[in-house]
Structure 1
Amino acid sequence: MRKTCAMVVFATYLPTVASAQETTDSAPMTEPNQAPLAFCAVEPVTFTSSQLMPEGHIKVQADRTEIIENTVALFSGHVDITSDTAQISASQAQVNGNGKDLIAKGNVTYQDAQIKVESDAVTLRSEEERLEMINTRYQLTGFVGQGAAKDIVLDTDTGISLKNVSFTTCPAGGEDWQIRASEISLEKGTVWGQAKHTRFYIADVPVFYLPYFAFPISNQRQTGLLFPELTSSRRTGVDYTQPFYWNIAPNYDMTISPRLMTLRGVQLNTEFRYLTDTSQGKAYIEYLPSDTDIAGNPNRYFYRLEHQGLIGDNWLLNVDFNGLSDNNYLVDLGSDYYSRADTHLYRSVGLSYYSEKLSINMQIKDFEVLGNTPDSYRAVPEIKMNYRTSFGRFLEFNVDSEVAHFDNTLETAPTATRFHIAPTLAVPFRSAWGELIAETTLFQTIYRQDNVEGTQLKEDVERTLGQARLYGALYFERDSSWFNDDLSMTLEPKVQYLYTSYEDQTAIGFYDSTPLLTDVEGLFRGQEFTGLDRISDNNQITLGATTRLLDKNNREQLVLSVGQIFYLEDNKVIAATKNQDRSALAAEVDWRFNQNWFFHTDVQVTTDTDKVDLSSTGIEYRKDDARFIQVNHRYVRDLSGETISQVGISASWPISENWQWVGRTYRDIERNRSVETYAGIQYESCCWAVRLVAQRSLNNRYNALGEQSIDDFDSGVSLQFIFKGIGSSGTRRSMLEDGMFGYRQPYSLN
């Protein structure tokens, strides 16, 4: 029979090492420019303190116990020793000096909040607060790190020391990479391990040697080198970036990334981030002195400033400011914030106020215009106010107002100051089976325009328009059965009558208004332009309907929407004139055939000619997150005088258990040429990965006149190594999102 002996008189103290979590107060900031660490299926060792003894006490359980004159205790057969800090199990144990020393032998396992160790023997010296273990295999608690050591010493004052030791985040028996060192120490109060005379092995092959090496032992933010990135392309040559992360404070950090490009020189990229109780933001700067690939060796730069912060209880400040040295910076050097196809860099400073009924938004909106692109108007400033209140259940009052001044970088371009107010009175009725809304709005706008000589614009323009809207919708639902599946089917018809009075607006310039593309929901918008420079006159009826199929979990399997506008009289606003009595028929379908097949399309068809004006179609087969094939097509009959017709194919598929392939290609059918071709292959094991990516895409470079090339292509190859647990994790998701277009799901089912 097993005996239990509670030997509280020993008052033995097992040494502990303060954990990294206890010594670092980390703010909730994410790791710099990298995905969260991802580990293999091996679960980290966990430790619970619920079974530990009170402080200063020790409990010993064993099959056999022998006590000699209350000074020596011998235990054998399934010995379990529990203190207030750790647990030890062994085949036999001896306690000397009334609990001052403990020696355990035979299949010894030691575990505390920091480490789990299996060894041949353990010696504990209580007065010195020192624990020694020989011939060990260890695993860090709460972290996928493990290895072997000839000797391990745990000391309360100094921490953990391991002699003739190995370390890896790979599982035992699958050490694809490994650090071997003469000594590894985990000092008390730090989140770094230190290794001396370090050899780094891939498989069993040593690849380099370091006399000293430091590595993280927690997932917290820590100062040090991040893993580099190595790529190559025709634009930059061999491209090597080595990020250095500086954990300045729990709520401040900086990433400094020197970038060596064999064709252009050395660029310095710096990102500073901050986080306070009421604000957050970043300052990002890229600087390339003397670009050696361009005549004259110009200095080139890019910067971005972001800030979001509360000012008081209801005020919010937002800053988004960008700038760069030249038109071709994004094309030549790339950016994490913009693509090579962008022609404008947005700049804004905004101050907003929010309350239950009142909202105020004040901002300055500017642009950095690239190339020979038509100059855009800047709102310097723009102030918008919205007030909303209810008078009982069936009466709502809303006021939208705006003051804005529009300026242009061209000195000869007209400028304007605009005052606008639009009070709306609405009578809403809403219930579970439908809704009915009747509302009327008065639009009052005043323009003060300058630099209008020689144009049809006028210096002073006042515009007063009235609008009436009646909107109704019904919601029907019934149980149904499709393909032996129990489903719920809904039918949601809706109708809207809209009347907007007419006034000649040709004396007003275009400052923030452009025609809108219309989808099914946009048919009920009642406005065909962004901004307020043009408000189209309307006398029209809009009909639409949506039907849904819902499974027993209320998840959408099919959504079909269709709608069309019927014009009761011709539109008189010049920019919105139509020569037919109805709009294009708009339709949209999202269909989940089953768990693997998804389909999406939206289309607009001119009904008097049966011609498609706009369409977008995508079909995807998805077996799981790693296996999918997607085909999509986009068509626009007339976009700024050009026809757009592009088809794309994206795929991701495992080649084997550890090999993953990702590919994507987009083709311009109108010009019969490729727009982008992208292919990546990745080997990913439990604890490391290597990725090879090749890409060819349109260059979009500007010439000296600011005109953008549409026939020049750029190609490149990138190679990246990832060692999990001591740097970024390798995932196929980043390969899917890379490139000009990236991967997007073609459906929006809930």
Structure 2
Amino acid sequence: MAATKLTHSYLLMKRTAHSMLWLLMMAMPSALLAGQCPTTLTQAQPPSRGSEQNRTGVTVRAEQLVSKAQQTEARGNVEVRLPDSQFLADQATIDAASGAVRASGHLRFESDSVQMHAEQLTADSRQQKVTLDGAQYQLRGSAGRGKAGHAEIDVRSGLLLRDAAYTTCPEDDESWQIRAAEIGIDARTGYGHAKHMLLYIGDVPVLYLPYLLFPAKNERTSGLLAPVFENSDINGQELALPIYLNLAPNYDMTLTPRWMSERGTLWESEFRYLSEHSQGQVDVGYLGDDKLAEAPTPSRRYQFRWRQDSRWGPHWKMALEYHRVSDDSYFFDMGRDLYSSSIVQLRRDWRLDYADDEWQFLARVSADDALNAQTDPYRRYPQLAFQYQPVKDHWTISGEAVRFERDAATSADRIHLRTGYQLSKEGLSGFFRFNGMLDWRYYEQRQPSGQQDQLTITTPMVSLDAGVYLERRIGLFSHKWLQTLEPRLFYLYVPYRDQRDIGLYDTGAPIRNYQWLFRTNRYTGIDRLGDADRLSVGVSSRLYSASDGREVFRWGVGQAVNFRSPRVDLVSSVPDAASVVNQTDAKETPIFFDAQLSPYEHWQASSSIEWRPDTGQTEAASFRLQYRRDDKHLLNVAHRTRRLVDGGSVEQIDLSGVWQVAPQWHMLGRYYRDLANDQAIEWVAGVAYEDCCWAIRLVKRRYLSVALDAFGQPLANTIGRYNTGLYLEFVFKGLSSLGNTGFLQKSISGYQDPFFSN
């Protein structure tokens, strides 16, 4: 969930979007209201002849009015206005003493929420009750309509329909409808009920519920949510039936038995809670006896995940995540898509932060767990850090103390201090920044054999950063543009310090790009501070439309020149240290180029290239093109390639899209392939039909269930397997859906599924 200010609506979002057959006429999920059938609601026109108002608040207009004692008889184009509604009829009788109204003949009743045609009407204006027989209704604000043999409307107590039917299809179209012996909505409690309810597709009943309690307002209530049907090669046929429990206004739970024909029943629960300062979620999954489990995978499978975010005032916040599974294959077997099956690391992290205008503090404990025979990250037991930067001064100081531990490996205590002084001059035409720093590190390392050593490293650092902003107005392609040119120079000096006797506890090599040229350390983390005597030269440019200020084109190109060959690398002499083979640049770095292009409203393209001029080889390149007019006209083309330092390579192509091929038909699909290993990672092919009241979607998907690294490659020493599934989804607009193709939003970049709410 996005990190926004927490309110009680946090607990309402997911459930109201997935309500099953509840909210028949009152609170329909907005995702299912999109594209509904147009209605034929009309406004009542007042008659042209005499009118009369009695002391009960009833106004009568008709071509002919006849008053006898306490009764008024109206005939011909009768319009009766009640306190909260009105109706038209051929004839009506109004009792001024009791407020009773009776009407018949071409009767049309209207209120703020509904329009009805009925055979006859009886109303009590004093009690604000209306009864209609032989009614046909149309809801305002949605396409919902239907019939009721008997309808009772009470402003204070609610609505009661007997022998009722409901659909969102247009007149003379009964593609689907709900029929019930009785539907009642209690305005005082906000709940409704239905008795002996049947869901019909055409003339065929497909679902029966003897009794149903549902919320008639946008509020939560306990009950069944929409069932999910799936099938796959790995698990066979699947049926999940979520049960929602509204335990309290500030916490709830969803319990989901997920039956898999090949494995058994996996019990999943999602518990969410909310307090004045915190929000959190606990997810549990348990399968007591997996019928497909083979050693070393246990037959008892489980997952536990706890997440919590807290905030106290403007300065303090806390974050907690603890994730545990029974075995490395849990996500392969229980995951529902490519992304969940490729989880390779479980977070176990607690952190407390403080921040004001000058001070920042951090206290942290972490013990992440790596899956599939990967080396576990070092545990931080604990980590304490601070930073102080006076608002009206140019110097800063930061520090950290942390203990690193890992089973059967070298452990270490690290203390890090850095102080710096910065001078900067910023203006509309450019900038100049000077930064001088002194970095101090202390290590106490303990090997499993018992040997200990202490190391202290002090390193000065100096950087100069300068840039100029130039702009001009140009005419091109019959349009006027504003173009900028932004040259930049960045000089960095860091003397060499031998660091091979230090282990790699939280340090690695980042993916390099144009912005990497302007970093003060070419590595991530603290265990390696790269030596440097180099000048980075870059230039970037932007092109804006002069008419609306829209950025059309942006690019940047740059390279760094080393006056002294860098020597610091990611090799360590510490026993069992995870040394990394990395490439250091001798005289010059590769040339980096990044670009983004948006030539038209619906088109976007981006590209990134890393090219070595000394060898003439492209180290890495990526290209992405997207056309997106709407959710039914979307195309994606992407290609990625990268040379690895160990001599291998990565090359992938990703094609996906959704396209409307006829007014009510659209196709969708994805083809994601690993060209280097000549294997498909995922492919999806589907077809969908949609009209204004229902939709159906048939999708076939095949994906590689295997853990992937940061480049999208299968991890070393892992064996993947393909999972193939056929998915059929029915959508009843204004009601709910049966089936689940929510994975399409992850598979097709930029796609917003109108029938799926997460």
* Alignment TM class, shorter chain as reference: 0.7 to 0.9
Q: Do structure 1's residue 474 and structure 2's residue 468 form an aligned pair?
A: yes
Q: Which residue of 2 aligns with 1:315?
A: 316
Residue 425 of structure 2, aligned match among 422, 429, 441 = 429
Q: Which residue of 2 aligns with 1:553?
A: 548
Matches within 5 A, 1:318-467: 318-334=319-335, 339-391=340-392, 395-408=393-406, 410-411=407-408, 413-451=409-447, 459-467=453-461
Q: Which residue of 2 aligns with 1:22?
A: none
Q: For the residues of structure 2 that align with 1:47 and 1:505, how far apart are their CA atoms?
A: 81
Q: For the residues of structure 1 that align with 2:740 and 2:475, how far apart are their CA atoms?
A: 40
**Aligned-partner SS, 1:463:** strand
Q: For the residues of structure 2 that align with 1:554 and 1:378, how far apart are their CA atoms?
A: 49
> Aligned pair in 2 of structure 1 residues 397, 65: CA closer, same or farther (>3 Å)?
farther
Q: Which amino acid aligns with 1:350?
A: R
More divergent stretch after superposition (67-76 vs 164-173): 67-76
Q: Would the aligned equivalents of 2:506 and 2:525 in 1 still touch at CA under 8 Å?
A: yes
Q: Would the aligned equivalents of 2:635 and 2:658 in 1 still touch at CA under 8 Å?
A: yes
Q: Which residue of 2 aligns with 1:205?
A: 204
- 1:80 positional shift: 4.4
Q: Which has the higher contact order (CA 8 A, sep 6+)?
A: 2
More divergent stretch after superposition (160-169 vs 564-573): 160-169
Q: Do structure 1's residue 86 and structure 2's residue 85 form an aligned pair?
A: yes
Residue 745 of structure 2, aligned match among 722, 737, 744 = 737
> Aligned pair in 2 of structure 1 residues 144, 129: CA closer, same or farther (>3 Å)?
same
Q: Which amino acid aligns with 1:603?
A: I
- Which contiguous aligned blocks of 4+ residues in structure 1 show a shift greater than 6 angstroms? 43-48, 729-732
Q: Which residue of 2 aligns with 1:588?
A: 594
Q: Which amino acid aligns with 1:721?
A: F
Q: Do structure 1's residue 30 and structure 2's residue 5 form an aligned pair?
A: no
Q: Would the aligned equivalents of 1:37 and 1:728 in 2 still touch at CA under 8 Å?
A: no
Q: Which residue of 2 aligns with 1:18?
A: none
Q: Which residue of 2 aligns with 1:540?
A: 534
Q: Which residue of 2 aligns with 1:718?
A: 727
- 1:547 positional shift: 1.0
- 1:601 positional shift: 0.8
Q: Which residue of 2 aligns with 1:14?
A: none
- 1:75 positional shift: 4.0
- 1:514 positional shift: 0.6
Q: Which residue of 2 aligns with 1:286?
A: 285
Q: Which residue of 1 aligns with 2:669?
A: 663
> Aligned pair in 2 of structure 1 residues 351, 113: CA closer, same or farther (>3 Å)?
farther
Q: Would the aligned equivalents of 1:684 and 1:730 in 2 still touch at CA under 8 Å?
A: no
More divergent stretch after superposition (467-476 vs 635-644): 635-644
Q: Would the aligned equivalents of 1:144 and 1:169 in 2 still touch at CA under 8 Å?
A: yes
- 1:577 positional shift: 6.8
Q: Do structure 1's residue 573 and structure 2's residue 568 form an aligned pair?
A: yes
Cα distance per residue 1:22-73 (max 9 Å; x no partner) = xxx966631248585331244799999xxxxx9x962525255646366223
How high is the TM-score relative to the length of structure 1? 0.87
Q: Which residue of 1 aligns with 2:631?
A: 625
Cα distance per residue 1:549-603 (max 9 Å; x no partner) = 1122211111111111111111121437735311110001111232343321101
- 1:215 positional shift: 5.2
Cα distance per residue 1:515-549 (max 9 Å; x no partner) = 11211112111211111000011111111111111
Q: Which residue of 2 aligns with 1:727?
A: 736
Q: For the residues of structure 2 that align with 1:583 and 1:338, how far apart are their CA atoms?
A: 34
Q: Do structure 1's residue 186 and structure 2's residue 185 form an aligned pair?
A: yes
Q: Which residue of 2 aligns with 1:8?
A: none
More divergent stretch after superposition (419-428 vs 157-166): 157-166
> Aligned pair in 2 of structure 1 residues 291, 27: CA closer, same or farther (>3 Å)?
closer
More divergent stretch after superposition (480-489 vs 97-106): 97-106
Q: Which amino acid aligns with 2:562?
A: Y
Q: For the residues of structure 1 that align with 2:646 and 2:109, how far apart are their CA atoms?
A: 73
Q: Would the aligned equivalents of 1:29 and 1:251 in 2 still touch at CA under 8 Å?
A: no
Q: For the residues of structure 1 that align with 2:428 and 2:548, how far apart are their CA atoms?
A: 19
- 1:474 positional shift: 1.6
Q: Would the aligned equivalents of 1:27 and 1:251 in 2 still touch at CA under 8 Å?
A: no
Matches within 5 A, 1:621-700: 621-638=627-644, 641-700=647-706
How high is the TM-score relative to the length of structure 2? 0.86
Q: For the residues of structure 2 that align with 1:728 and 1:419, how far apart are their CA atoms?
A: 57
> Aligned pair in 2 of structure 1 residues 171, 578: CA closer, same or farther (>3 Å)?
same
Gaps of 5+ in 2: 1-7, 19-28, 44-52, 571-581, 709-714, 752-758
- 1:288 positional shift: 0.6
Q: For the residues of structure 2 that align with 1:611 and 1:689, how far apart are their CA atoms?
A: 51
Q: Which amino acid aligns with 1:363?
A: R
Q: Which residue of 1 aligns with 2:47?
A: none
Q: Which residue of 2 aligns with 1:122?
A: 121
Q: Which amino acid aligns with 2:330?
A: Y
Q: Do structure 1's residue 486 and structure 2's residue 480 form an aligned pair?
A: yes
Q: For the residues of structure 1 that align with 2:80 and 2:738, how far apart are their CA atoms?
A: 39
> Aligned pair in 2 of structure 1 residues 701, 346: CA closer, same or farther (>3 Å)?
closer
- 1:125 positional shift: 2.4
> Aligned pair in 2 of structure 1 residues 611, 63: CA closer, same or farther (>3 Å)?
same
Q: Which amino acid aligns with 1:736?
A: L
- 1:449 positional shift: 1.4
- 1:174 positional shift: 3.6
> Aligned pair in 2 of structure 1 residues 141, 272: CA closer, same or farther (>3 Å)?
farther
> Aligned pair in 2 of structure 1 residues 261, 77: CA closer, same or farther (>3 Å)?
same
Q: Would the aligned equivalents of 1:285 and 1:303 in 2 still touch at CA under 8 Å?
A: yes
Q: For the residues of structure 1 that align with 2:375 and 2:10, how far apart are their CA atoms?
A: 45
Give RMSD over aligned pairs. Answer: 3.1
Q: Which residue of 2 aligns with 1:12?
A: none
Q: Would the aligned equivalents of 1:396 and 1:427 in 2 still touch at CA under 8 Å?
A: yes
Gaps of 5+ in 1: 1-24, 49-53, 746-750
Q: Which amino acid aligns with 1:713?
A: Y
Q: For the residues of structure 2 that align with 1:81 and 1:417, how far apart are their CA atoms?
A: 86
